[in-house]
Amino acid sequence: MHNTGLKIAEINKDLAFLPENRLDEVKNFVTFILSQNKDKKREIVQMRGIWKGKGFEGLDIDKEIKAVRQEMSESILKREV
């Protein structure tokens, strides 16, 4: 995975140096390569509802945020300079 990310970063860097009139050529080539890999379909993962039923429904988010902010304020004020 790390190697793949590195290769993508290198390709992106190189693309910045291509003349604008050659970018369509690169796009067409990438599209051609992707068309040959039709068997490897990307799996779409839905994240909606991932926390449903985990006990977070009853939380009052605004109240929790206010409490955390209060704690942080008190902590900052107690610090010695």
> Would you write out the chain's pLDDT as a tens digit for each of its 81 residues?
468 889 999 999 999 999 999 999 999 999 998 888 776 666 778 888 888 888 888 888 999 999 999 999 999 998 876
Print the domain residue range for 6.
2-36
Scored b (16 or more CB within 10 A) or e, 17-55 reads: eeeeeeeeeeeeeeeeeeeeeeeeeeeeeeeeeeeeeee
Residue 8 covered by a domain: yes
Residue 15 covered by a domain: yes
What is the number of domains present in the chain? 1
Q: Is the pTM of this model over 0.85?
A: no
Residue 65 covered by a domain: no
Residue 55 covered by a domain: no
Which spans in 1-81 are helix H?
2-15, 20-36, 61-78
Residue 51 covered by a domain: no
